[in-house]
Structure 1
Amino acid sequence: MTTMALAEYAQQLTFEDLPPSVVDKAKYIILDTIGCALGGSQTELVRVIDTMIRQEGGHPICTLIGRSEKSSPAWCAFRNAAAVNALDFGDDNFYGHPGSTIVSTALAVAEEVEASGRAMIAAVVAAYDVVARVGEAVNPSPERFAQVWGVGTHQVFGAAVAASKLMRLQGDDFLHALGLAGVSAPLPSGLCWNFEARPLSWHKDSVHWPAWAGLTAARLARAGFIGPRAVLDGPHSFWIMSGSDHFEPDALTAGLGNDFKIMDSSFKPYPACRWSHAALDAVGIIMQKHPIDVSDIAAVDIETFHLLEDYQFMDYAPANLVDAEFSLPYPVAMALLRIPPGPDWYAPERMVDLEVRRLASLVRLHTTDEMNRLCREENLWAARAIITTHTGASYSAMVPVASGSPSNPLPEGALERKFRQASQAVLTPDQIEKLLARIKNLESEGTIAAVCELLRGAESGSREPA
């Protein structure tokens, strides 16, 4: 059975099995995810969740990133995953945002069971290997995608693998955890995010529910709860339950143990939907190459693929940060103004700033056959930007692959700069550097207790978050 093969692989993978390049990528994924959570912890979206968790109560076992309080492992995984995704700044692959779900779950369980840094790295890598293969195997046709799609649905397996591995589940217990996770996955709800009647739903990518469900599945299996044994096998398994019309079972095990899927994940240089990143790159290239004064800009034309038009990204006055993340004009205005990407993009005063609104109003969207073909045939989310000035000058740039992708990586040091930018509202400069050093040497940590202590901010001596 394919489900059993994945369970056995995930159980048996050790830190010593990982090439140095995979270890390095895993540590950067963990660093980037934690940085995004620190930045996201200050948003209203996460504050609402924090209020609910305080009302729920529970055992104070694990760290709520950026807060002095602790909570139960499942609620910490849920809340921290939401914090990672709050700014839409976390890593992604073609099928979703795996780090937000996987790393948040791994961090909560590793803290609970006092796992080593090496154990956490191995759990994260194994989780990526499973979740990316499931995403590829159940990816729907374009016709079905137009009817139903989701982001976090399959990521429940990543949470279940990370939690089960760190809990050291064996044999049938690990298999039952995967089965329970699969039948507890959130629905593919992308078409119910209020795209046609904003404001958008704050649950958006639904990366938090799979963290909660996957971790809970592992805990149930550890306690002896029996789950489905073949949730990924056959005509009635997860692929059709998830709403897909397409299943490639061979993708679930192809290259297992040699092709580490974590290497395919992209880092995001901008806190916005990945669909807009090529356009933001193109605008940035123009502004860097040419001495354009923003007061002289008459129009910004973006040529790109149809999904931004289909999902109504031309929101010129977004109501809140989530609407701004799924707007094209707003982040283009940020790029024109050269505002450093990070939480500051969504400061309340900036979102109503008249100059931001003026620049956003200059943006026009055009879908072209060229860009649609690249999207459809090559899975490229490409864009061309054309900036026209009042003097009649015109400047353009074309970006076929957004920066941060494996084929167009960020420059050296960019992820460290992103981490510092995202975390500075929560941690002191000294704490930021200490946390950076510990995560970059995570394999040397006997437990992750020191990392988690730094993540709390207030109790580690940083400024108390508002």
Structure 2
Amino acid sequence: MRRTESAPRPASDAAIAGSKGREEDKEETFTLARHYADLHYDGIPADVCQEAKRMLLDTLGCVISAKCTETGQMVSQLGAALGAGFFADGTDFLGRSYEIGRLGNLMDLEEGYAYCHFGAVAVASGMTMARWQRLSGKELLSALVVGYELAGQIALGIGPEFKVTEGRANGRLDVWGITAPPVFAAVGAAARALNLSAEQTTQAYGIAASNMPIPIGGKWTTEVDLPNTKYGDMGWCALTGVFGAVSAMRGSTAVTSILGGENGLIRIVQGGDNNSQRFLAHLGSRWHLRSIWYKRWTCCGWIQYPLAALERLMTKHSIGADDVSEVVVEIASGATVKRFTDTQPQSFISLQFSIPHAISMLLMNVPAGPEWLSAELAQARAVKTMRERVRVEGYAIPQAYSYADPFADTDATQGVPSAVRVTTTKGTFREESDYIWADNHHPKNRIDDSHIQAKFRGLVGADHADRLVALVADIERVDDASVLVDAFYAAMANSR
């Protein structure tokens, strides 16, 4: 008997809604990809390009100086295992991107924005692509801007590591996707450098996001003896993003609705807010590089605030380490946990998060850079004694989280009020601080090129520093940015 086929059933309302939802999810990711695929040098404001140059120089200094640390040597060995330095034509971009991305974040001396660090990863991607593709200086700058801006959208989409109630911190989140913005910084910069179409860029985002490190931010915040991969290996984030862009260029495909919807990446790693539209807020009208901030000292960004207050006290009252019998640091509650209050930190990374160690380094006039994180210096009797004189307590005013609202018209001042009370042979003095050395969006504190150049020269030998400062200053006039990349690699090779 011949089989007769029944007429197809009409799609249910739920199926229609599900299909429509998936299309909307795809459109959200594509909207982001199309915006950045279409962004070229001529469409970037001059001040944003200038900030990208500052970020680039600052990051190069962090990378070069980190390589001479004990942990930095290990990172370079891992980069070499992935091919770094083995191919002069730039096809060693995976190993190089790993090495640069991780070294840039290794000492916690690099830039910050919206609770994250992703400048080093954008630079790792942009520089390695520039060497491989022989980009012009303008093309390199465009890649850096796109990488940073894309990561900024993702960072604001995810939000901070704290639950926020009426703009105030109210406990830590169990899930915090701190590695997502760096991965997107890398894939964004690489996709722009490779001149991918909007469709290819969407695929690149999907590939990179599908292979990003799992979001261990919530677990990381509970640790005290901190690992040298930190809250995520920034080298792996760089490699993941770069590979995603190259893979899409070669024809690989991925989930093109990766970012949007209730089961998209943003929702998965947010932890505290179920609005997946956060990552599209003010797309094209807000430039995240305008709100970047830079670090002066070799430690976590939260500690920069009390250090700024201490430095002012030291200048006002001519305070030295030998004068001090006690230091009380008043800081936001999020920085009163054990990792921040530890007076005898043991690991390379734990030194970066110890308030007593940072206070001791500044009082003892140790230059910011690798020496702050020297295991030998950290175990010196004088340093251990000084750390024991430092006590940490909560600041009376709750910490504000203005960055937590990506729908606000502009980035407002991040409220991290801090104070330092120092008891000395000359008396007891107290100083408050709610901004740091290079908090670029704070009305009291704007910086210029000379500040970043001075920091850079303090980290890099004079011969290499002069060359790199000059090249970055005029990078938009360079036809082949390989000249900058090669000078940078030479400085890395000579870092001691």
Please report the TM-score for the alignment, with normalisation by the length of structure 1.
Answer: 0.90
What is the deviation of 1:20?
Answer: 1.5
What is the deviation of 1:182?
Answer: 1.4
- 1:449 paired residue number: 482
Residue identity opposite 1:438 in structure 2: L
**SS of corresponding position for 1:457:** helix
- 1:38 paired residue number: 64
Distance 1:47 1:175 in 2: 36
What is the deviation of 1:133?
Answer: 1.1
- 1:128 paired residue number: 148
Q: 1:398 to 1:73 in 2, by over 3 A?
A: same
Q: Highest Rg: 1 or 2?
A: 2
* Aligned-residue identity in percent: 21
- 2:458 paired residue number: 421
Q: How does 1:194-213 map to 2 (within 5 A)?
A: 195-213=222-240
Match of 1:107 among 127, 132, 138: 127
- 1:92 paired residue number: 112
**SS of corresponding position for 2:419:** strand
- 2:471 paired residue number: 438
- 1:405 paired residue number: 439
Contact 1:193–1:200 under 8 Å retained in 2: no
* Deviations 1:89-114, CA, capped at 9 Å, x for gaps: 11101231020111111111111110
Distance 2:251 2:259 in 1: 21
Return 239-248 or 258-267, whichever deviates more: 239-248
**SS of corresponding position for 1:299:** strand
Residue identity opposite 2:41 in structure 1: F
Contact 1:61–1:112 under 8 Å retained in 2: no
**SS of corresponding position for 2:61:** helix
Contact 2:84–2:94 under 8 Å retained in 1: no
Residue identity opposite 1:388 in structure 2: T
- 1:66 paired residue number: none
- 1:295 paired residue number: 322
Residue identity opposite 2:147 in structure 1: A
Contact 1:130–1:252 under 8 Å retained in 2: no
What is the deviation of 1:319?
Answer: 2.0
Q: Which ranges in structure 2 are unaligned for 5 or more consecutive residues? A: 1-26, 164-169, 405-412
Q: 1:53 to 1:138 in 2, by over 3 A?
A: closer
Q: 1:327 to 1:112 in 2, by over 3 A?
A: same
Contact 1:423–1:432 under 8 Å retained in 2: yes
Q: How does 1:154-193 map to 2 (within 5 A)?
A: 154-193=181-220
* Deviations 1:193-214, CA, capped at 9 Å, x for gaps: 4854514343435322221111
* Deviations 1:145-190, CA, capped at 9 Å, x for gaps: 4312242223211211110111111132111001111111212213
- 2:305 paired residue number: 278
Distance 1:178 1:202 in 2: 24
Match of 1:346 among 350, 353, 373: 373
Please report the TM-score for the alignment, with normalisation by the length of structure 2.
Answer: 0.85
Distance 1:108 1:463 in 2: 16
- 2:285 paired residue number: 258
- 2:74 paired residue number: 48
Q: 1:250 to 1:196 in 2, by over 3 A?
A: closer
Distance 2:476 2:133 in 1: 17
Return 350-359 or 215-224, whichever deviates more: 350-359
What is the deviation of 1:297?
Answer: 1.0
**SS of corresponding position for 1:365:** strand
Distance 2:232 2:190 in 1: 21
Q: 1:243 to 1:342 in 2, by over 3 A?
A: same
Distance 2:351 2:42 in 1: 43
* Deviations 1:340-365, CA, capped at 9 Å, x for gaps: 22222223432222222222111100
Contact 2:118–2:181 under 8 Å retained in 1: no
Contact 1:173–1:222 under 8 Å retained in 2: yes
Contact 2:333–2:399 under 8 Å retained in 1: no
Q: 1:165 to 1:411 in 2, by over 3 A?
A: closer
Q: 1:390 to 1:411 in 2, by over 3 A?
A: farther
* Deviations 1:382-432, CA, capped at 9 Å, x for gaps: 2100001245x11111001222111133466221111011122xxxx2221
* Deviations 1:238-280, CA, capped at 9 Å, x for gaps: 1232252414444433333332111111111111000111011
**SS of corresponding position for 2:298:** coil
**SS of corresponding position for 1:242:** helix
Q: Which ranges in structure 1 are unaligned for 5 or more consecutive residues? A: 64-69
Distance 2:30 2:171 in 1: 28
Residue identity opposite 2:284 in structure 1: G
Q: 1:346 to 1:23 in 2, by over 3 A?
A: same
Residue identity opposite 1:430 in structure 2: D
